[in-house]
Structure 1
Amino acid sequence: MKIGIVGSGNVGGTLGARWARNGHEVFFAVRGEPSAQVREVLSIAKTGTAAEAAAASEVILLATPWEATQEAIASAGDLTGKILIDATNPLLPAFAGFTTPQGSSGGEQVAQWARGAKVVKALNTVGFNIMADPKFEAGTVAMFYCGDDAAARKPLRR
């Protein structure tokens, strides 16, 4: 699968590196120096702008800090028809609460900003350290995801 990563820090870098090592074509959007996770897989992954990563990908992981999310979506260009996995959390600084209005959610806000994209909310309920080494003594665990397009949710079942 061709996966674009917008936000290549802890979450995006960790997941993108795992996916690249597992044979997926990964394209990281980077604005400056690539993170350590991205540098480890540069021989098997690509880097470029958010627009380049989005254009080259079937699925896009959005893993930005909330305050950078709207700008990151805008910089990705036209996302019409693309599957956009929203791994963001709309948190205030110091985890003091949520930035979204009561009765709304971060996923709904992302869907408004990314008009035409098939938004699936996922991968935002566990830390990147668990993503890097997802082994549990109890065996398999559940990862929650939601979206209103059944076909867009399918890649997350793998």
Structure 2
Amino acid sequence: MRIAIIGTGNVGGAIARGLTGKGHDLVLGACDPAKVATLAAETGAQVASSVAAARGADIVILALPWGAAEAAVRDLGDMAGQIVVDCMNPIGRTAAGMGLTLGHTTSGGEIVQGWLPRAQVVKTLNQVGAEIMADTARLPHPPVMFMAGNDTDAKGKVGLMLTDLGFEALDAGDITKARLLEPFAMVWINQALMRGKGRNWAFAAVEG
């Protein structure tokens, strides 16, 4: 598949590394090609403007800071019929400190779907840190990665990509279930960063 990654920070770079050598045509969307030259060389990815990278891609991954997401997404156009993976968590400053700025009645995933009403938005790759996305092989079990979206075929294709990244892909339901997946991400963040567990772990679905 041709996979465009919009946003090449820690998460976007980790996804690119995790997909390297898996048979995909990777394109990094970047305003300044020089800033992603090392990542492109490491992963064998092409580099293009975000609009050009997204054009014709089978899957477009949004790996942007939430505060910059709306303007960047609107610049991409309506992306009608395209599969868009939202791996962003709407984290910002709240009265209780850093945390989710949305919840209960909506989610970041639903808002992205609202920005792109004619695209097939799938919420996933938001539930662990970048290190796990880059390399799941060191874990004793395939980590689980839930996904939420309205289109079954889109989730099927995203599920194949998640499998290539080494995850066990599980369908959480329609895009409103992003309301579950974004707080679930905060459980990982709390354990990894606030409770001293560190970043080298992930959730797994273990059956008996």
Normalising to structure 1: TM-score of the pair?
Answer: 0.89
Percent of pairs identical after alignment?
34
* AA aligned opposite 2:36: P
Mapped partners of 1:122, 1:4: distance in 2 = 15
Mapped partners of 1:63, 1:21: distance in 2 = 20
Q: Which residue of 2 aligns with 1:16?
A: 16
* AA aligned opposite 2:139: F
Q: How many residues align?
A: 155
CA shift at 1:38, angstroms? 3.4
Mapped partners of 1:146, 1:107: distance in 2 = 8
Q: Which residue of 1 aligns with 2:70?
A: 70
Unaligned runs of 5+ in 1: none
Q: Following superposition of structure 1 onto structure 2, how do residues 9-158 of structure 1 map, counting pairs within 5 Å?
A: 9-32=9-32, 33-34=35-36, 36-41=38-43, 44-93=44-93, 96-100=98-102, 102-134=104-136, 135-137=138-140, 139-158=141-160
Question: Over the residues paired in the alignment, what is the CA RMSD in angstroms?
Answer: 1.8
* AA aligned opposite 1:7: G
Of stretches 87-96 and 44-53 in structure 1, the one that deviates more from structure 2 is 87-96
Mapped partners of 1:57, 1:51: distance in 2 = 10
* AA aligned opposite 2:118: G
Mapped partners of 2:151, 2:37: distance in 1 = 32
Larger Cα Rg: Structure 1 or Structure 2? 2
Cα distance change, pair 39–75 in 1 and its aligned pair in 2 (3 A): farther
Unaligned runs of 5+ in 2: 161-208
Q: Does the CA contact (< 8 Å) of 1:14 and 1:37 recur in 2?
A: no
Q: Does the CA contact (< 8 Å) of 1:7 and 1:64 recur in 2?
A: yes
Normalising to structure 2: TM-score of the pair?
Answer: 0.69
